[in-house]
Structure 1
Amino acid sequence: MAVEFRGTVRQWRDDKPGGLAVVDVPADLVGQLGGRRQMRVSGTLEGAPFAGSTMLVAGGGLCVGVSRAALRAAGASVGDDVDLSISPAAGESGTRSHA
């Protein structure tokens, strides 16, 4: 089951400009993805095909990493608000939870 949301592309670490970009997953959707855990996801970013991984965020959040190639394909960059539709990738159960 895909979850759809809008989020802002941000730098994973402010001290590393040009490094990994991420979009935070809204807290109310984390459970629908299978809980707060790392997993491969696939779907769309601004309508463009997309694959990435979720990552745990300090303080209890979850975000999804967005490659430079995915941002280019979506016509987006850091600081932009984007629409995502993601679900656990093939082989990911989406049912385990590590809260």
Structure 2
Amino acid sequence: MKAEGRKLPFVFMLWAGIALIAGIAAWFGYVAFDGANPGLVAAVQATAAGAILTMVVDTMVPEAFEGTHDYAGIIAVSGFLAAFALSKMA
């Protein structure tokens, strides 16, 4: 954003606002789904995971593909496998 000419205070305030809204949304989800059916919670989490994966692929993979053309797919899969393994350790 700085490269596009935005001032540093604007960038910080924008990200602070995003963090605040995300925190409020997380709290609301926690309250709204307290005691909900585990199947419903799993469906909502799967939808959210798909949205995050779509966002990451849309924004980051094209840049990664430019830099590591031959290995971008393997690196991405390794990252997802590592995240999955870490989630199962807890």
TM bucket by the smaller chain?
under 0.3
Q: TM-score, normalised by structure 1?
A: 0.20
Q: TM-score, normalised by structure 2?
A: 0.21
Q: Determine which structure has greater relative contact order: mean sequence separation of CA pairs < 8 Å that are 6+ residues apart, divided by chain length.
A: 1
Bigger proportion of residues as helix: 2
Bigger proportion of residues as strand: 1
Structure showing greater Rg: 2
